Amino acid sequence: MNVDPRNPVAVAQALIACPSVTPEEGGALALLEGLLRPLGFEVHRPVFSAEGTPDVENLFARRGEGEAFVFAGHTDVVPPGDIDRWRRGPFSGEIVGGELFGRGAVDMKGAIACMVAAVARNPSLKTPLAFLITGDEEGPAVNGTRALLEWAVARGDRFSGCLLGEPTNPEALGDAVKVGRRGSLSGTVTIRGVQGHVAYPQLADNPIRKLPAALAALLDEPLDRGTEHFQPSNLEIVGLESGAGAFNVIPGEVRVRFNIRYNDRHTAQELMALVAARLDAAIGPAAYQLAFEPPNGDAFLTPPGPLVELVSEAIEAETGRRPELSTSGGTSDARFIKAYCPVVEFGLVGRTMHQVDERVAVEDLERLTRIYERILERVARL
C-alpha cells in the first residue's frame, strides 16, 4: 500500500485496515516499519515471550544520537464485538460525514498516525527521536511495553521524555493531558464455611451469613480523601459467586471479587495489608482466604515541569484551550515508561473508544498532528 506518511488520515486508514486484535500483529507494525525507515529510522521488531501469555511482536524505531524523545503507543486493539452492529466495517477505515470509522480509530491508531505525520512533515528536525510501539497494551501487558523498554535500555538507549498517545480528551481536543495514573489492585476474598443440607443447618456453616460483615469492612470507611493531584481512592465490589447448584444445599464458600483504584497515598503492598486487617477484624482470620492478582503498578505523577509545560503550551497554541492536568481514568503503559523518563499522555477524544462504531473526526487527526508538530518544535529547544 502506497501511503503518504505526511497525511495522518491516510496513515490512520491504513492502520485501521490491519486486523491487529491483541495479540495479533495484523500487518500494523509492518506498515509502520515501511513508513519509518524512509524517514531515517532504524527499526526493530522484537518478539517477547512469557509463560502463560501469548508471544507479542513490538516495534522500536529510533534515529539520532543521544537521549531520544519518545512517541509511544500501541497498535493492538480490542475485538470489534458484533460486526453486524457496526455502521461501517470495523476494519474498513471508511470516512462518513467527516468521521473516520474503525477499531482503533481513537484507541490508538489515530494518534500513532498523527505522530508519524508530525515527524514526516519536519524532515529537517535534528532532535533524536524514537517510536515505542507495542502489540500488548490491550492484553496482559507482559510482553509489550515493559519488555520492550528493558530490551531497549539493555542495548544502550536512553530517553529524555515521552509522549504517549492514549485518548485523553473527554469531549474536545485540548481538554486534558494525563500527567499521572492511579494504581490498580484486584483481589478475591473466599469466605469459608461447611457445605450441608438446608434442612439440617446445625450440621453446616453457611458462609453467606458472614458476607454482610465482610462487605461492610471492605466498603465502610473511605480509603482516603484524595490528594492535591488525585481523586480519592476507591474500592469496588465487582463480583459475587456462591451456590452449589441446588436450592437445598448450603454452599461451602462464597467468593467476593474487588478492585481498588488508588492514589499516591498508597502502595499495593500497603493496601493488601489494610484489606487483610479489615477482614480480620470483621470476620476473623480463620474465616477467609485472600488472594491478589499481580499489581499493575502503583500510582504515579509526572509533576509540573518542562515536559508538562511544553505539551500544554503546544495544545493551547493550536486549540486555544489550556488543558486540565488530569490523573483520572484507568491504567496505561505510562506506568512502565515513568521508570525510564518523564511521561505525559495526550491523544484524541475518547468518547467512542472500545465501542461499536469507534470513530474519530477527520479534522481532529489534522489538528492533533499540528499539536504534535508544535511539541516537536518545543522539544528541540529544550
Closest CA to 279 of 262, 297, 292, 261: 292
203 class by beta-carbon count within 10 Å (0-12 exposed, 13-18 middle, 19+ buried): exposed
Kindly name the residue from 76, 157, 345, 358 that is annotated as catalytic: 76
**Strand order across the 343-345 sheet:** 42-44, 59-63, 129-134, 68-74, 159-164, 343-345, 176-178, 324-326
Please say if 280 is a catalytic residue: no
For residues 359 and 1, is the Cβ–Cβ distance under 8 A? no
For 49, 155, 157, 177, 190, the CA distances from 57, given in Å and listed in that order, are 9, 18, 19, 28, 37
Return the residue matching grid coordinates 467476593: 256
Rounded to whole angstroms, the Cα distance separating 368 from 309 reads 17
Rounded to whole angstroms, the Cα distance separating 368 from 167 reads 11
Kindly name the residue from 136, 137, 345, 358 that is annotated as catalytic: 137
Contacts of 115 (CB under 8 A, 6+ apart): 71, 73, 131, 163, 165, 372
Rounded to whole angstroms, the Cα distance separating 362 from 269 reads 45
Report the DSSP beta bridge partners of residue 349.
169
Return the residue matching grid coordinates 529524555: 160
- Hey, what amino acid is at 282? A
Contacts of 111 (CB under 8 A, 6+ apart): 73, 165, 166, 167, 347, 348, 368
Please say if 4 is a catalytic residue: no
For residues 260 and 184, is the Cβ–Cβ distance under 8 A? yes
User: Which residues have a catalytic role annotated?
Assistant: 76, 137
